[in-house]
Each structure stands twice: as C-alpha cells, then as structure tokens.
Amino acid sequence: MFRISLFEFRIYREIMLVENIKAEFNLYKNQAEKSDFFLKREEAFAEFEKVGFPTTKNEEWKYTNLKNITNQSFQSTCESTIETELMLSHAFLKDLTANKLVFVNGSFRPELSTIIETDESIVISTLAKAKTAHSELFNKHFGKYAPIEGQGLNAMNTALLSDGAFIYVPNNKTITNPVIIVNIADSTDVNVLCQPRNLIIVEKSASLTLVETFYAVGNNPSFTNVVNEVYANENAHIEHYKIQNQEGESYHNNFTQIFQEANTNINHVTLTLSGTLVRNNLHFFMNGQNCNSLLYGLYMPHGTELVDNHTRVDHAFPNCHSDELYKGIMMDKSVAVFNGKIMVHLDAQKTNAYQRNQNILLSNEATVNTKPQLEIFADDVKCTHGATIGQLDEEPMFYLRSRGIPADVARKMLLNAFADDIAERIKIPELVELLEQEIEKKI
C-alpha cells in the first residue's frame, strides 16, 4: 500500500509544471485574438501536450535530468517588485555604451532600457511591438528557424512566450554600439518562469554585435526558457555573446538557431558562469557557400551545478568553415555535458570543420560527459574533433613555482591561460575584463 501511494505521489509531482502550463495556455486562449500568431501558438501547444518535457530516456538528454524543474510549480505572469536600481546593480556591463533592452521576468521594462542608435531604419524593439509594427518581417521570420516538432521546450516557449527582443538591421547597415539584452529573473515572491523569445534579422552585408545576459535575484527557484531565432542574410556579420550568471536556484534552457545565408560570418561565445542547471542548445545551419561559423564556450560550474552544452552545425553547402572550442573548469561536485554534432551533408564538399572540448578538473568529485560527434556524408572534407579531460599539469606548475611564484598564484595563472583561448574570441574589451574578474572570483 505504502509503495503504491508513494508512486502515485511521484507521478503527480512530475506533472506539476505540465499542469501549470496547460492552465496558463487555457487562460491565454480564452483571451487571445484568433490571428496567425495565435494559430502558431496553438499548434505549438498541441506539440507540447504531445511530447512534454524531455526525460533522460531521450539520448539528447541522457545526462541532464529536468525532474527538479518539472516537479515544481512556476508562475509566468507575475510582477517584479524589487527596486529597479537594485536590479540593475546585478546587471553586467552596465557601464558599457550600448543599446540596452531590459526584460524582468520576461516583461519588457522600457524605463530601464536605453536605445542610443540614431539610424531610424534600424529596429531595436520588442517582439510584442514588432508583431504589429513590423508584421511583414515578423510573419516572414518568426517560428521559421527554431523547430517545434519533438522539441517540448521550444514548443512551450512558442505557446507561452512572454516577450523578447526584435532586432532588424537592414542591408548594408551596422549597429555602431552593441545591443545588450538583459534578462532578469526575479523570484522574490514566487517561483518564476521566464520565457524570452528573441528574433534577430540581419540583412545583406549588415552587421550586429549582440550580447545576451541573464541574472537571477530572489530566493525562490526560477526557470528561464529562451528561444532565439537569428537570421543572417548574405554577407552579414554577427558577433553574438551569451553570458549566463544566474545565482541561487536557477534553471536555464536556451535554444538558439542561427540560420546563415551565403558568405556570412558568425562568431558566437557562450559563457556559463553560474546556474543550478544550464542547458545551452546552439544550432547553426549554413544555407549557402562560404559561410564561417565560430562557436566558443567557457563554463566554470561549482557546487553541484550542471552545465550542458549541446551544439549542432549543419554544413549543407560546399566551401564552408566552422571552428568550435568549448572549455570547462570544473570545481567541487559539478557536472558538465558536452555534445557537439557536426553534420556534413552530401553536397557540402570542401568543408572545413573543427571541434574540440577541453576540460580541467579541479576536484576529484567533478564529472564531465563529453561526446564530440562528426557525421560526414561528403567525401572531400577536412574535419577533426576531439575531447580532453584532465587535471592541471604538474610541469607548468613546477616551472612557475621554481621562479618564486606561489602555488595558488601559479594555479590561477594557468587557469587564466586555459580560459584565455576563449577570452581572446571576445571583441568587447569590457566583456573580457568582466570575464577575467569572474574567473578571479570563482577560482
């Protein structure tokens, strides 16, 4: 008897968040206009109902168990109560000259945001506004890149997205200063669910520097579920930085699909500094020749944190180049997962694709699960992949110490040097400085 009731209880717990989502969607459904946008969301909701949250039975989620998220209840329509200044004091890069879009619990906060771009043909706005103000662009691109099918979390985001950035850079234009999307999860009063949805369109020969930052405040758990769709038209150039530093009980899932036309150049850096569970899904699709895709990442989990980076690069056309390097500094009982997939399609001759994952374990109790993957269907390509997991080498330590540098300082120097491979991919000096400070704090 006892066993059965315990089992029933567990089932009930696991569907808690699903019930939340259903109730919330029904609420939305009753109020919504029956537009194309609504139909898309209804379709996404149906998919979510069908597939639900991924479990560890799914190969792609083998090492990342979401049960601590799905057995809790979260609210996605709550007001943030803490003072604005306090919020922003948590925000990175507040001194950087940039266009800033601030979202608190998924809602846009115009009074905290600043747009300094003066070119009126460039749009730095929100998804909610763009839906009507730029409906043609919105309808052309929204939901076209991030897949819903079989992707419960993407479906959930599409069905119940809160708001997000809408950025449009027309042909031959450059946004002079970076655009920073600041996302704050404020769980002071309740468990909070934030579902930002960003749509970034960079047209022919245009360029953009984009920084996404994530923070959390408050003592209750927060769950941030982001979907980014980035469209790069021919010859576009995008610098994309994602900095995730959500302290406290914070769960984070991010799906970024970057769709590249010919001759585009994308540099993406993912920095995961803190979070209870962080899953980054970063997908590139090269839809033309001579694309260049650069994916770099650094993670430094401590305590019992889990960081999972799943990347996928689709080389669908010839003569494209991709380079990927993810590095991890593992502390305490933390866990990292790396799964990098490079798909070289049948027609993608002369592909150059490189992938590496390197990890340093600073503790005997840390775990790394790494799986670099190459699937090649073309026959004239240059591809390499590899992964390493190790400790800080004795030889460099001894060399530095033999010059009078104490062991703890030497260790920091070597870890900074390890992280430097990623830091040097960042083209915003303020961000490099910030990263150095964070490394200093963490180790």
Q: Would you tell me which residues interact with other proteins (CB under 8 A)? A: 394-396, 398-407, 409-410, 413-414, 416-418, 420-421
Q: Minimum distance from CB of 79 to other proteins (Å)?
A: 46
Q: Minimum distance from CB of 239 to other proteins (Å)?
A: 22
Tell me whether residue 346 or residue 407 sits nearer to other proteins (CB atom).
Answer: 407
Tell me whether residue 119 or residue 393 sits nearer to other proteins (CB atom).
Answer: 393
Tell me whether residue 120 or residue 394 sits nearer to other proteins (CB atom).
Answer: 394
Nearest CA to 378 out of 408, 356, 347, 409 is that of 347
Q: Minimum distance from CB of 436 to other proteins (Å)?
A: 12
Tell me whether residue 18 or residue 397 sits nearer to other proteins (CB atom).
Answer: 397
Q: Minimum distance from CB of 396 to other proteins (Å)?
A: 5
At 340, list the tokens: 């990098």
Tell me whether residue 40 or residue 442 sits nearer to other proteins (CB atom).
Answer: 442
Q: Minimum distance from CB of 408 to other proteins (Å)?
A: 10
Q: Are 288 and 318 in contact (CB under 8 A)?
A: no
Tell me whether residue 18 or residue 432 sits nearer to other proteins (CB atom).
Answer: 432
Tell me whether residue 136 or residue 395 sits nearer to other proteins (CB atom).
Answer: 395
Tell me whether residue 32 or residue 409 sits nearer to other proteins (CB atom).
Answer: 409
Distance CA 238, CA 202 (A): 8
Terminal Cα distance for the chain, rounded = 50
Q: Minimum distance from CB of 394 to other proteins (Å)?
A: 8
Tell me whether residue 42 or residue 421 sits nearer to other proteins (CB atom).
Answer: 421
Q: Minimum distance from CB of 398 to other proteins (Å)?
A: 6
Distance CA 334, CA 304 (A): 4
Q: Are 340 and 372 in contact (CB under 8 A)?
A: yes
Q: Minimum distance from CB of 360 to other proteins (Å)?
A: 12
Q: Minimum distance from CB of 403 to other proteins (Å)?
A: 4
Which amino acid type is present at position 404?
G
CB-neighbour burial class of residue 214 (10 A; exposed 0-12, middle 13-18, buried 19+): buried
Distance CA 31, CA 40 (A): 16
Q: Minimum distance from CB of 296 to other proteins (Å)?
A: 15
Tell me whether residue 121 or residue 402 sits nearer to other proteins (CB atom).
Answer: 402
Q: Which residues make Cβ contacts (< 8 Å) with residue 204, sequence separation at least 6?
A: 171, 172, 233, 234, 235, 236
Q: Which residues make Cβ contacts (< 8 Å) with residue 115, sequence separation at least 6?
A: 99, 100, 101, 124
Tell me whether residue 206 or residue 423 sits nearer to other proteins (CB atom).
Answer: 423
Q: How many CB atoms lie within 10 A of CB 28?
A: 16
Q: Minimum distance from CB of 417 to other proteins (Å)?
A: 3
